[in-house]
Amino acid sequence: MTKKTIELTVNGEAMTHSVEPRLLLSDFIRGDLGLTGTHVGCEHGVCGACTVLLDGVSVRSCLTFAVQADGCVIETVESLAQDDALSPLQNAFRDAYGLQCGFCTPGFLMTATELLRAVRSPGREQVREALSGNLCRCTGYETIIDAVEAAGRAAGGDQP
């Protein structure tokens, strides 16, 4: 199969790669780039574990071809921590016990990142709606919602 050259920026790093047109973005991120924080769960776009930001918008990387990211900016969960320090959102997840097994957490974090960029301090129903496409089998969602609300309050200047 003929490969296509793509140019993109991943977590702030510009790069050029040759990929097969049928290569999924999730497989490119995990296999070619070695960024294994993006998890692959259902491979049908249902669970949200593979969620990344593509030009700031959350997408299911298991439903997106790598060639579709040509010319785009991709952010994975690895982009959140800076200088070995957790981001405020990651800290909020830790503090609110917003994770248990952690498999779904990268998808929730990236979806919540998009929300918090659009809405500085979202209400509980806004958080529920934004995260409704991400599935978790462990937490019961309440602590995840608490974490996103706390991160939003912290970003808005209020005390969590």
pLDDT in tens, 59-81: 999 999 999 999 999 999 999 99
Domain 88-155 has CATH 3.40.470.10: no
Question: Is pLDDT of 158 > 50?
Answer: no
**What band does 160 get if pLDDT is binned at 50, 70 and 90?**
very low
Class of domain 4-78: alpha beta
d(CA 159, CA 146): 13
Paired tokens of 41: 């769960």
Portions of the chain given CATH number 1.10.150.120: 88-155
Supply φ then ψ for residue 82, to 5 degrees. Answer: -125, 130
pLDDT at position 139: 87
Task: Say what angle helices 142-155 and 88-95 make with each other, to 10 degrees.
Answer: 140
d(CA 133, CA 79): 21
Portions of the chain given CATH number 3.10.20.30: 4-78
Q: Which amino acid does the sequence have at 41? A: G
pLDDT at position 159: 38
pLDDT at position 155: 82
For the segment 50-54, the average pLDDT, to the nearest whole number, is 98
pLDDT in tens, 114-151: 999 999 899 999 999 999 999 999 988 999 999 999 99
Residue 137 near residue 144, CB atoms below 8 Å: no
pLDDT in tens, 78-114: 999 999 899 999 999 999 999 999 999 999 999 999 9
pLDDT at position 156: 73
pLDDT at position 140: 87
In the DSSP assignment, the letter for residue 81 is -
